[in-house]
Amino acid sequence: MSITVPARTAVPPKGMARIPGGAFLMGSDAFYPEERPVHPVAVDGFWMDEHPVTVAEFRRFTKDTGYVTVAERDIDPADFPGADPDALVPGALVFGMTSGPVDLDDWRRWWSYRPGACWRRPLGRDSTVHGRELHPVTQVAFEDAGAYASWAGKELPTEAEWEFAARGGLEGAVFVWGDAFTPKGRRMANTWHGAFPWQYLPASARHPTPGTTAVRTFPPNGYGLYDMAGNVWEWTSDHYTERHPDPAPRTCCAPRNPRVDRPAADAPAEERFPRRVTKGGSHLCAPNYCLRYRPAARTGQSEDTATCHLGFRCVVR
């Protein structure tokens, strides 16, 4: 589907924060293997959306262009050899709490494919985004995020840009706000409290079940960016690798504006679609399962993936 891309302007659109750029230590040696090794990186300054793209913003895009997301399209049986053709109906992955503790190695206990699930109906055919216009849009695949960015005259951030921006000027801090998870008992992001995936401890009566919250619900980081931890995972433009590159032999040789433009050479042969780096964690991240609501945290998502906890934001360079 062709999309008209507006000409770029000298002044970035309203709702973007200026990220100054600079050198930083990317990654972490303290948590998950894919975050290693810590290595120096430098990025130039850029502008970034203050918050993830919202339902209202994505709706304007689809109305203007007629764009149909990946989750809404008919499924080509050739992409899923051996599958029952009657089961290949448009839809996406939706989370469901379990009734009690389960094997955390089996994600199928809490994720299920829901026919009809898409950005307009993120939890399935009977759901709606009415009243959730200021929540992050979800159920968007990588192609969908890129199409929106092109329409808006923007781009998706690289992993290095995203991580630098998420740190908000706090070099080496565990979280985007510092080292304490709940400073003075205050919740700083929309993350899972309790034992995932069956015990959820709500922050308030207004949020009794796990799910997205409106952008700007929690405090911004040092660069004025909201939801750089929790709420929804966010797409970046980089292809996923199982680890970071080794540090440059000399500080003067640290990479500047690095990006991973092609799939890893050792990517599993059975993968039908390349994986891209997603950052930030989501409302489903919990200390007992996925402590990834940190700037260094990262995971790989297949480009065709659409889920109820995955969104994006854009940059202007």
Q: How far apart are the C-alpha atoms of 290 and 102, rounded to whole Å? A: 15
**Angle at CA 179, nearest 5°, toward 177 and 183?**
70
**Residue 8: predicted pLDDT:** 47
* Bridge pairing between strands 310-311 and 233-239: parallel
Straight-line distance from the first to the last Cα atom of the chain, in angstroms, rounded to the nearest whole number: 25
The pLDDT tens digits of the residues spanning 82-133 come to 777 777 899 999 999 999 999 999 999 999 999 999 999 999 999 999 999 9
Q: What is the DSSP string of 158-210?
A: PHHHHHHHHHTT-TT-SBTTBS-SSGGG---SB---SSTTT----SSTT--SS
pTM equals 0.93
Q: Note if the bond before 37 is cis, omega within 30 degrees.
A: yes
Instruction: Tell whether the model's pLDDT for residue 81 goes beyond 90.
Output: no
User: What pLDDT digit, counting tens, does each position of 208-239 carry?
Assistant: 899 999 999 999 999 999 999 999 999 999 99
Please count the residues of the chain.
317
